[in-house]
Amino acid sequence: METVWIVLIASLAAINCSLIGTYLMLRRLAMIGDAIAHAVLPGIVIASLLASSKTSLVALVGAGSVGIVVTLLIEFLHGQVKLQPDAAIGINFTWLFALGVILISFLSKKTDLDPECVLYGEIAYAPLDTWVGPGGINLGPRAVYVLAAMLLVNLSFILLSYKELSVTTFDPAFAATIGMNTTLWHYALMGATSYTTVATFEVVGAVIVVALLVAPPATAYLLTQRLHKTLVVAALLGILTAVGGCYLALWVNGSIAGAMATTAGGLFFSTFLIQQWHKKSPQVPISPVT
């Protein structure tokens, strides 16, 4: 039963990340996604200290806002201070992450976080943290509810604003001319990214979540030409990543999150290499004369 819960939790986390990650990749914001995933750490530490439970709603809201703060800081260093964009990203998320690690080292006795688990989460323990209903009924792991709710939010965000997201992603100039607020959509996506990384934090940690955000969408991008297909394939690859990762982790007796990242990477690189191989040996065209 526990394994089933783990696979379910891992799949939910991976689907959430794949959907949002597809837009990050298409908007060339993959490294911003990386920055957000790192930067939410101090928010999570402080929130977990205040709320005494990592999965409470307060913690989610507070921590997610730090993710938006880091995008504003990057924007500030790039736009106002005139720093080159890559340096602006690199400087901001690292100090926030460092701050998070320092906070954890100071508060390790008061919170159940430790510096290493923030890197790759503790999905194996997630099924143990169950939600007990009013009558003392065991309603299953808390993480399942958090991630399912997050998936509901992400899905409705994408489905309800599919057109707006597409236009601002593929042709921001056109979107601006027809009067759309591209900044608003940018920050809506940044908010979705922040909250997704916070929701999946407990399960896969602050760093490995990047692999789930980027690898399945990148693989799907290699395989598809249309946005809706990319999204669906990315989500399916996310599930495959989760299932494969769980088995790989069981096999080598290692971290499940690490194994999921490895699986996601394996899927990407095998797709990439197969495509390269096909490109290198083009089929000889059939000649009309024999």
Partner 1 sequence: MQQALAEFFSFSDPNIRYVLLGTLLLTGSAAMIGSFALLRKKVLVGDAVAHAVLPGVCLAFIITGTKHPVPLSLGASITGWLALVSIDQITNRSKIKEDTAIALVLSVTFGLGILLLTAIQHTGNAEQVGLSNFLFGKAAALVSDDLKTLALLGLMLIIIVLLFFKEFTLVAFDKAFAQASGLPVRRLELLLTSLTVLAIVVGIRAVGILLMAVMLITPPAAARFWTNHLPTMVLLAAVLGMIAGLAGSFVSYIAPAMPTGPWIVMTISVVAYGSFLLAPRRGLLARRIRQRKHQKKTLTENILKLFYELGVTEGSVGTKRTLYDLLKSRSMPTSRLVAGLKRLQKHKMLQQEGLGWRLTAAGSRKGKEISQRHHLWKLYLTQHLKTEADHTHEDAESIEHIITPELAEELRGLVKLPVTGKSTTQHTHWTFEGAGQGQPVKTPAGE
- Residues contributing to the site for partner 1 (CB under 8 A): 25, 28-31, 33-34, 77, 80-84, 86-87, 89-91, 94-95, 97-99, 101-102, 105, 115-116, 119-120, 207-211, 213-215, 217-218, 221-222, 248-249, 252-255, 257-262, 264-265, 268-269, 272, 275-276
Residue closer to partner 1 (CB basis): 59 or 215 = 215
Cβ-based neighbours of 201, under 8 Å, separated by 6 or more: 40, 44, 63, 118, 121, 209
Residue 160 CB, nearest approach to partner 1 (Å): 26
Q: What are the b/e assignments for 77-113, b being 16+ CB within 10 Å?
A: bbeeeebeeeebbbebbeebbebbbebbeeeeeebeb
Residue 83 CB, nearest approach to partner 1 (Å): 6
Residue 278 CB, nearest approach to partner 1 (Å): 12
Mode of pairing for the β-strands spanning 130-132 and 138-141? antiparallel
Rounded-to-integer distance, Cα 212 and Cα 197, Å:
10
Residue 170 CB, nearest approach to partner 1 (Å): 14
CB atoms within 10 A of CB 186: 18
Q: Are 75 and 32 in contact (CB under 8 A)?
A: no
Residue closer to partner 1 (CB basis): 177 or 225 = 225
Residue 57 CB, nearest approach to partner 1 (Å): 28
Residue 250 CB, nearest approach to partner 1 (Å): 11
Q: Are 24 and 32 in contact (CB under 8 A)?
A: yes
- Write the CA distances from 246 to 111, 242, 249, 262, integer angstroms: 27, 6, 5, 11
Cβ-based neighbours of 5, under 8 Å, separated by 6 or more: 126, 127, 140, 141, 144
Q: Residue 204: which H helix or E strand, with range?
A: helix 182-223
Residue closer to partner 1 (CB basis): 14 or 142 = 14
Residue closer to partner 1 (CB basis): 142 or 212 = 212
